[in-house]
Structure 1
Amino acid sequence: MTTLLSGYRLGDLDLPNRTVMAPMTRARAAAGGLATASMATYYAQRATAGLIVSEGVQPSLIGQSNPGTPGLHTDAQEASWRQVTDAVHGNGGRIFAQLMHGGRVSHPDTTGLQPVGPSAVPAAGQVFTPTGPQPAPMPRALVAHEIPGHAESYAQAARRAVAAGFDGVELHGANGYLISQFLSSNANLRTDGYGGSVAGRIRFAVEAAAATADAVGPGRTGIRLSPGGTFWGVRETEVTALYTALLAELARLDLAYVHVEATADEPTLVALRRAWPGALIVNPVMPMGPKQTDRAAADRWLGLGAELISFGRAFLANPDLVERLRTGAPIAPVEESTYYGGGDAGYLTYPTLQYAAAG
């Protein structure tokens, strides 16, 4: 019988359990987008996860969304990640880098560049900048001949990720960032081959995934999706048709996995489970919503056909989450004020059950 704590073969990896540490922005990189020793400790503390997916890592300077986030587009950034991957592997873990191009969800004060997107339509709300939240700026609509270069940026960052010791990469195709913007019917108003129809709207996602799989191998490549999600003001029409078509094209690439967020109703997600022939990671709760993923939600989705379950906030405050799930121990709460930025407090200071009992 499949259980959360049973092993699974994912792409090129043997996972000891079916828990995935979901990608979560922590905004603690050093200047220049460098990974740090504290980041190495943070991820190594959570290496008992079946798979860790890192925080979003920008594949290019123009792809950076938030200040304080790490990159994988310079030699120095690539070298800085080696301490992280070595620490995770030294503790027996496995880690993928999430490659996140923010597209229109960025600001010139963060990057020095005007953000780009499929169309000149700003994101809803305020974006983070070095001086605090500011209204999302107007992006520059990408010219058609530029788009393949942005798809290729994921592949270039993936090569650096593998060179830095990552076991693979996950393309961030969710939550209103660049791939999601192309999938959207209100952020993407294009009338060329990258917009309009379902086939046009999925094209960028497929090209980015294909370039990445070609660069590092399909067994090292996954993608995260948020069907029907409305982050940063995106809207999608024909959600089931859109994602069924996308999954059909991605299936041709033989990717390691698709990682789906619970941004649509359960019948829609179950239909997409049936449409995807490969490994499926499900995050069973709405990201940043009122509920956190727990054992009951995980077991339900394993029963509905998911191979792996991702946990977000529960992993922040519980570095030994897998052991707590195994024993039924309480899941400690996370301090929201420490989510983004700051020092090691609220980052490295959450104790394991053993340490808490000893204290």
Structure 2
Amino acid sequence: MSESLTLSLDAMGGDHAPDMVLKGIRIAHERHPRVRFLLHGNEASLAPVVNRHKTLKQVCEVRHADGVVSGDEKPSQAVRRGRDSSLWRAIQAVKEGEAAGVVSAGNTGAFMAMAKLVLRTLPGIERPAIAALMPTQRGDCVMLDLGANAECDADNLVQFAIMGEVFARTVLGLDNPTIGLLNIGTEDQKGTDTLRQASAVLRESSLPIRFEGFVEGDDIGKGTVDVVATDGFTGNVALKAIEGTSKLYTSFLRQAFGSSVMSKVGYLLARPALNKVRMRADPRRYNGAMFLGLNGIAVKSHGGTDALGFANAVCVAVDLISNGFNDTIRGEFLKVQRASGLDAATLERAANG
């Protein structure tokens, strides 16, 4: 990154804030030394630490905020009562042009609700979606929505697919990424009316995209497509199932290698290979879920992450900004509107076969 930019951080969001945030900034600074940070939170907690560290003092500005949005607070309550919170202030700095993007490890629902209210959505997008990178046998893929929209219509799914395709091109560097809609089967007649309508629209679209049709749950790990689009309910269930399975097999390996003396010796011999596997599947490496479709860059870090994970979330925000992600999204949806790919007539035609 040749030009400097400023990020706005909710310094009080997350299970281990603010220490995790401050340590994460130091890691992120090593990767992106030209990035500056606005830290929103309790000045009495933040300022002494920032002033003690030369690196933090050089790149950080502390902005006091009295309130903190708790992890169990309902989004509606947070929006009504959280105008003086570190989360609201961090988002507001993006709207006012003081920062190019915002990162928080705080309450996901509150973050999304506030960001949508303050930043609004991009033209042509009805709902923002939560997107994240997933490890696969072929590399990484992007999956969305992961929980922002439990119920979606065909328009929403098509928008998610296009946003995911732009993300794969601008951030993953793929020239012509493939797209799939998550379904209970790959056949055209499978799934709900909404899925079939969205599939028909994507197939008929004049956009230069590679829509591969429906994919199933096991296609995520296979890396069958580069972009997996789905509604937030299904996406969140799939994500949690993948995370749970990963933890299950990790516990199986730990038990197996500790079951006997020979197993422990085998672990010592296999440790270099196991370390490679652990690094490849390290959730901190994939930390940083993007709120795609907002009129501003917003990245959600996992609430329980450590400094390394938060630094990776910061780097995701830097990548989105540096690659002009939102500008590309605007251009793609202008093409969609010109092609009338999402109008009511197209959906009606798709629904009627």
The TM-score with structure 2 as length reference comes to 0.29
The TM-score with structure 1 as length reference comes to 0.29
In proportion to residue count, which structure has more helix? 2
Which protein, 1 or 2, shows the higher relative CO under an 8 Å CA cutoff with sep ≥ 6? 2
Larger Rg: 2
